[in-house]
Amino acid sequence: MAVSMSVNTNIGAMTALQNLNKTAQDLAQNQNRINTGLKISGPQDNASIFAIAQNMRGSVGGLHSVSTALSNAVSAVDVAIAGGRAISDILIEMKEKAVLAADNGMDTVSKTLLDADFQALMQQITTIVTNAEFNGLNIIKANGDDVVSIANEDGTNTITVAAQDLSVGATGLNISGEGLTTTTDAQAAVTAIENAILTVNQRLGVLGTGSKSLEIHNNFVSKLIDSLDAGIGNLVDADMAVESAKLQSLQVKQQLGVQALSIANSAPQSILSLFRS
């Protein structure tokens, strides 16, 4: 088929220019993907995929807040557990002194000295209870607040660890009035301290179970965040090996396009040869 030649319209040059512009656009997109590491960096790349990724990013942000809340809750409970363990150790020491004072053969002066140590240890328990606080939360004092943490991103689910009163006057402990100045008092103190040890250890068990529940859920939330991050990556991350190979291909294509445009632009000059003598 014959090819028409015109000095008014250079179809070849127009086509070559269109192809070159398309290559330049593809090259710009490719370089943007390499620079950002993203194949979908905005709604202009793929509106539906971008929207899905943004929703997933919102979920990740919410879950990070959940993880922070859970970590704070674990810390509050762990501080309480540390206090409870210290109290349990002190109670064991108090029992030792009470057993000594319950001996009929011990003189009054010795009982008085033991009682002084006994009362000092009791005061130490009070000090521990008062200071077992994390971020303003104390769950082992009298009338302490429960630990309540959000468990999902919209805050509709929570995990609660109930407060456990470990003060010396708490129900089940109630050792605040005990003393060792007489044999009878010391014998009563032994019984009271034994009951207090059982109570403290039982309440420590409740706190330990609560801390474990919080940690397990926090680990689940962390894995969920990782899964969502991986999903976002699958949706929007660029394959750098593919983009690198594509870059080389587009650069060659661009060079060829420039040459094709140059050839097309020179075509009208050949018309002049038709009029040369």
Low-confidence residues of the chain: pLDDT under 70: 1-13, 16-17, 20, 23-24, 26-27, 29-30, 32-35, 37, 239-245, 247, 250, 252-254, 256-258, 260-277
Three-state DSSP state, 268: coil
Q: How many residues does the chain have?
A: 277
DSSP 8-state symbol, 145: P
| pLDDT score of 20 | 64
Q: Count other C-beta atoms under 10 Å from residue 164's C-beta.
A: 25
| pLDDT score of 43 | 87
- Domains of the chain, by residue range, sit at 73-236
Element (H, E) at 223: helix 183-236
In tens, the pLDDT along 179-213 reads 999 999 999 999 999 999 999 999 999 999 999 99
| pLDDT score of 1 | 47
Q: What CATH number was assigned to the domain covering residues 73-236? A: 1.20.1330.10
Per the CB < 8 A criterion, the answer to whether 175 and 122 are in contact is yes
Per the CB < 8 A criterion, the answer to whether 147 and 101 are in contact is no
173, 81, 95, 161: which is closest to 128 by C-alpha?
81
List the structure tokens of 265.
Answer: 């632009």
